[in-house]
Structure 1
Amino acid sequence: MDRIDSVHTWDLTQGQPRLFSALECAFSYRDSLFKKPAGQGYLITAVRFRLPKQWVPVISYPDLKNDPELARNATPQKIFDAVCRIRQAKLPDPAKIGNAGSFFKNPIVPAAKQSQLKTDYPALVSYPQADGSYKLAAGWMIEQCGWKGRSLGPVGMHQRQALVLVNHGGATATDVLALADAVVASTQQKFDVTLEREPVLFD
């Protein structure tokens, strides 16, 4: 989202195009205007990016930062290949098993809450934020609740990545929501942290 200049949309209500600046899109962690009621009447048709003329590698993601090949020589192609390799190792192929990618957002909690959880669960995975809060790894929390690789009817949490909800075949929206609600309830009970679904539900 740091590179987005503007977003082109089609206003489904007015039947005409509308251009949104990056500021108007209100981008934040896995969120934007278009995931809120005020922005759900727009169909995104194109995105305009503003890229620096001088390329600078961004490998702050832990798996990229720890890649010895990238540490020696981080070219655009090598970063692309590494990202694809990492995602293929962790995430299911949607062509083989139905999924919507990461199903829950990583919750952000105050420092006091993170400290309390770290005391209770020393292996807690968390990331400090600029404002002093902490982002918790939802996948780790879901795994601690016993949901990794576990199914509820035709849906389940993926065996390699507990954050990904998968459809083993024939699942309905009711099946998906039942599992999602069960995962949220388990995490709430164990950690006193409420997970938020990332996919938007349309009636």
Structure 2
Amino acid sequence: MTQKSEAKDEEKLSKVVLRLMRTFDKEVSRVGTIEEASSRALLSCVARHALDDFDHETRRLLPRDTVTAERARLKNYVQGTVERETKAVKDRIDSERRTREADAGRRKMIAAEFVPRLVKDQKKDKGLFSDKDEDTFIRMEKHNLMQKAATDRSRPRARQAAGQRPRNAFGFSEFDDALDGLISQRRPDEFFNGDVNKKR
């Protein structure tokens, strides 16, 4: 083997190493978006394939010492890249996990502060009172209705004395006779100008 031939092999060896490094970098960039466990396994496969390709393409190149040295350089490169990328993937996953935990913590704080208030308001809106509160509410409603009925019974007499036509106190025809008594002289078909109970 002449010096010219060895120089040619060394030039070819340099090109092989450079090409394998570029190919390796491309493969690594594709692996970076995958979850940690899969990323670590795939990066190891890519590194092993790079060294296997180097061995295959340089098996006939001389001198072997130079080939061995270049293989060691390529191995250090791919292993360093694998370690760096594995750490980057792990850091990214840890960061995403911390972000999710922080979001969950904020949601719990918001829920602890506002949900009891919302539940309380919802119970009020739906009338979900305790038995004691419900009894008190019913008694108050009955009292208010009795006062309103007593007040409304006096209104038709005052209106009739003033020459006004008596009106239905509650606005419903079925309560007219009960509340107005004998004061109301309208027939059932006259209620609401005949729009409700008009005979057809």
Short-chain TM bin: under 0.3
| More strand per residue | 1
More helix by share: 2
Instruction: Give the TM-score of the pair, scaled to structure 2.
Output: 0.22
TM-score, with structure 1 as normaliser = 0.21
